Amino acid sequence: MDKNKAVENLDRVISKVEAARLRVSGHHIVKIIGISKYSTASDIALLYQAGQRAFGENKVQDLKAKSEELDELPLEWHFVGRLQKNKINNLIDLNPTLMHSLDSLELAQELNKKLEAKNKTMSCLLQINSAKEDSKAGVDPDEAIKIYEEVSKTCPNIRLKGVMSIGAHVDDRNIIKNSFEVTKKIFNKLESFSPKYCSMGMSGDFELAIACGSNMIRVGSILFK
């Protein structure tokens, strides 16, 4: 990627997001997270120069390496991958802006315990396996509200900010749409917790996700190509 390509990629994504959000409402604001897991620190820097500030990684060690390499830039870092128990302390030390992938009550309680020990807090989203796919992480949609309540009640060092889902891994757009709608419905039912983010949509389905109410998209391949 060179400088022009970075500007071109980002402009294309922003135009599409703009059109998709305006189809929902002029008041519907969508935040773009650039998922940099297949890219280098120098490509991230080019996108930063083009105007992108928020980036995300799915491995703690990659988040550490790239955030340290780009230390001098005022970037916002997100964590979107499966968090192994033995990496929890490393993630805490990296102070991510938002952790999107809290995928069980057990992980939440373990994370909370380690946050407490370090006297820190972390903003997180509850990941929901809305398509009920075995290959995917996340809580069962039928249990999501109960677990969200439980985490809110028992994990004071976790600041729950909403929900995250990965769209169904199929070609049928209706099935993908349905998986986004399941998550959006749960997001709506959590109103009393004032959830802020409904993180849904990747390179192949972000416009559909926005139409279904997503206000945070995680795009990698279309931004870093």
Tokens of 112: 């909370």
Q: Considering the complex, what minimum distance in angstroms separates the CB of residue 117 from ligand PLP?
A: 27
Quick one: which of 124, 121, 181 has its CA closest to 156? 121
- Residue 8 DSSP SS3: helix
Q: Radius of gyration over alpha carbons of the chain, in Å? A: 17
How many whole angstroms separate alpha carbon 33 and alpha carbon 160? 18
| Among 1-9, 15-23, 151-159, 217-225, the segment contacting ligand PLP (CB under 6 A) | 217-225
Tokens of 46: 């080019």
Phi first, then psi: what are they for 208, rounded to 5°? -65, -40
Tokens 């996700």 -> residue? 209
Spell out, one character per residue from 134 to 173, where the chain touches ligand PLP: x when CB under 6 A holds, - when not.
Answer: --------------------------------x-------
| Contact between 16 and ligand PLP per CB under 6 A | no
- Residue 114 DSSP SS3: helix
| Contact between 80 and ligand PLP per CB under 6 A | yes
Q: Considering the complex, what minimum distance in angstroms separates the CB of residue 61 from ligand PLP?
A: 15
Residues 26 to 65: which contact ligand PLP by CB under 6 A? 35, 37, 58
Q: Considering the complex, what minimum distance in angstroms separates the CB of residue 215 from ligand PLP?
A: 15
Among 84, 154, 188, 221, binds ligand PLP (CB under 6 A): 221
